[in-house]
Amino acid sequence: MGFGREENTLEKQIGCVKYTLFCLNIVAWMFATSLFALSVWLRAEEGFSNWLTILQAQNFYIGVYILIGTSIIMMAVSFLGCLSALMENTLALLVFLGTQAFGFVAGVAGSAVLLDYSTMHSSLQPILQRTLTYLVSTSEYSNSSYVLNMIQSNIGCCGATGPWDFWNLHQPLPNSCRDTVSGNCFFNGCVDELTWFFAGKTSWIVAVALGLALLNITCAVLSLVLVQAVKKEEDEARTYRH
């Protein structure tokens, strides 16, 4: 009688963990799909890609590529998680656990690289500083002037760090450094303004990627719990038969 009650309790616990894991895998698939869509949209946005090329900051896409690859793998793995949980297959669950660990590492790494090229005091800013300073120093040439005016008028900034860049480099202050309504000069440099612009583009992607990484860890823990519970159930059944 005691063994029967314990067995029923164990079966209920396994059922609870199994269906929780199944539901979390569905949520994880939705997160992975959203991450894939957002990452591909950012990579495919032509205007944004042109800006990165002009600013020589294409390394920004390294984190995007990592997250695209991670999201594709996690979309496929979510189905493995659902099947392994429903079948209570310990080998499949252990394989799934390994993929969740990989997904967590890849997601965090991709987010870290993306943040390193889209936040203040990141690797992006020295690149922008170098490129924009060169454009200011050569602003008497039509190509540099065109690119600089396009950036300053669209972003609402002036020079690399401010209008004094033009004065220090003995260049005339262009009209694109002034507000078209008030005529006042923009005092914010384009390095900071562009960094904030990039941060706005990546914030949602990083949030979804980190949310998916959290789900990966949760699913990995539940998989391990389910494996232990299934093994315990098998051992008890074997003992009962003997």
pLDDT tens for 99-147 read 999 999 999 999 999 999 888 888 899 999 999 999 999 988 988 899 9
Which pair of tokens denotes residue 100? 């969740």
Q: DSSP labels for 72-119?
A: HHHHHHHHHHHHHHHHT-HHHHHHHHHHHHHHHHHHHHHHHHHHHTTS
Would you say residue 3 has pLDDT above 50?
no
pLDDT tens for 65-94 read 999 999 999 999 999 899 988 888 889 999
Angle, CA of 185, 156 and 50, to the nearest 5°: 140
Burial per residue of 64-94, b for 16 or more beta-carbon CB atoms within 10 angstroms, e otherwise? bebbbebbeebbebbeebbebbeebebebbe
Range of the domain at 172: 126-190
> What is the tally of structural domains in the chain?
1
Q: Is residue 177 part of a domain?
A: yes
Would you say residue 1 has pLDDT above 50?
no
| 169: CATH | 1.10.1450.10
Q: What is the pTM of this model?
A: 0.85
6: confidence class by pLDDT, cuts 50, 70, 90: low
Q: Is residue 131 part of a domain?
A: yes
